[in-house]
């Protein structure tokens, strides 16, 4: 290796150690800021010198394949995505929820959709007797899902009364 390459490698190594000591995620952008070069230059150097394993994105595909394998080995068809997200699978907590939706869809893994059973559950309930919070706690559905169902089927739910403590200043 040339002396210039060794200098750059040492700078990157010290920047990686610095970020790890601070507990920060190691990214090409942060390394570029510390070293004083462009992000593309950092990525190019790291790929040429077999240093990409320090970047979390390079391990993402391996983690995703592991997550998919574990999810396919389980029956998650009755779980919502937020419940799947809480399963004790290595690396799953680091995956963002929208990415998890994509992983499930792309790999044909069945999961329970939030609106899937709402019509069956709410068709026999008199919505006008309950407010939105009561309906949400009774059924386990999100408030937005209940509002959507209510509007779609023209079945209003009981509105909560907002008490106003405003005094009409015009009368005083």
The predicted model scores a pTM of 0.48
- What's residue 31's pLDDT? 92
- What's residue 65's pLDDT? 87
Can you give the three-state secondary structure of the chain, one letter per residue?
CCHHHHHHHHHHHHHHHHHHHHCCCCCHHHHHHHHCCCHHHHHHHHHHCCCHHHCHHHHHHHHHHHHHHHHHCCCCCCCCHHHHCCCCCCCHHHCCHHHHHHHHHHCCCCCCCCCCCHHHHHCCCCHHHCCHHHHHHHHCCCHHHHHHHHHHCCCCCCCCCCCCCCCCCCCC
- What's residue 55's pLDDT? 80
- Report domain extents, the chain: 3-54, 59-106, 118-152
Q: List pLDDT tens digits, range 115-165.
A: 767 888 888 888 888 888 988 888 878 888 888 888 888 888 888 766 655
Q: List pLDDT tens digits, range 43-84.
A: 899 888 888 788 876 667 778 888 999 999 999 988 888 899
């Amino acid at each position: 290796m040339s002396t210039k390459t060794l200098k750059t490698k040492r700078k990157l190594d010290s920047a990686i150690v610095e970020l790890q000591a601070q507990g920060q995620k190691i990214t090409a952008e942060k390394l570029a800021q510390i070293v004083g070069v462009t992000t593309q230059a950092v990525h190019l150097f790291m790929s040429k010198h077999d240093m990409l394993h320090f970047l979390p994105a390079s391990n993402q595909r391996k983690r995703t394949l592991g997550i998919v394998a574990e999810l396919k080995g389980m029956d998650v068809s009755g779980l919502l995505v937020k419940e799947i997200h809480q399963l004790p699978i290595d690396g799953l907590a680091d995956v963002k929820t929208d990415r998890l939706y994509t992983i499930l869809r792309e790999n044909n893994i069945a999961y329970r959709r939030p609106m899937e059973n709402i019509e069956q559950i709410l068709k026999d309930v008199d919505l006008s007797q309950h407010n939105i919070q009561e309906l949400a706690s009774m059924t386990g559905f999100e408030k937005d899902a209940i509002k959507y169902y209510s509007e779609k089927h023209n079945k209003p739910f009981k509105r909560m009364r907002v008490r106003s403590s405003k005094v009409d200043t015009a009368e005083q």
